[in-house]
Amino acid sequence: MIGQTAVMEYMILVLMTMFIIFFALIMIFGFQFLTIGSETSIEVEERSLFVLQSFISSNIVGNPHFLKGSVLDDSKLTVVDCGKIEEMFGADVFVEVRAFYDKPNCEGLSSWEYEECLEAVRQITESENKPCTPENYPDCGCWVFCEKSEKMVYRAVPVNVYRTMNNTFSLGTVTVGVGAS
């Protein structure tokens, strides 16, 4: 019986030592395997920020009469295509620029004025969402470059869009997507 107790103590000691060694190996080498994915996601996040900053400050879409990176020119946006964007930033990139227009406030108007106001709001909304091409420019408010994918990391910032034809500014957003593959 005394010999059996010594053997059990020895077995528990060996088991606990193996458990501590196994735990130490997981602590030392396990974190390397866990951080592999996060390093890739950090890299994609940094690339999306780089593409966004480069796109906004590029001469290809910016207006040279204003501070670099503060105003995008709608006439330049209309002639840029996906090939030029991919040439600048690589494949698997998505860029969308959307300009917003002032919409009238229809509250408190008489019934016939209210109907006209709603029609004006509908036309403005339709124009905002219409993708720009050289054929329908300047009656549009959205420029989309390249294909959107579900496996992209997106980043968006507000910008000013200079409307060349009527010499006005619109508030807008630039959304950039970068492939996470």
Instruction: Give the orientation angle of helix 82-89 with respect to helix 2-57, to 10 degrees.
Output: 130
Whether 27 has a pLDDT exceeding 90, the answer reads no
Judge residue 180's burial from the number of C-beta atoms within 10 Å of its C-beta, 0-12 exposed, 13-18 middle, 19 or more buried.
middle
Q: Where are the domains of the chain?
A: 2-102+132-179
- Among residues 21, 168, 161, 177, the alpha carbon closest in space to that of 89 is found at 177
β 152-163/71-73 pair status: parallel
**pLDDT at residue number 35:** 67
pTM confidence score:
0.69
**What is the average pLDDT across 36-49?**
78
Sign of the CA dihedral running 6, 8, 14, 19: negative
pLDDT per position as a tens digit, 70-108: 788 888 888 888 888 888 888 889 999 988 887 778 788
pLDDT digits (tens, 9 = 90+) for 11-26: 899 999 999 999 888 8
List, for residues 144-179, the tens digit of each pLDDT value. 888 888 888 888 999 998 888 888 888 999 999 888
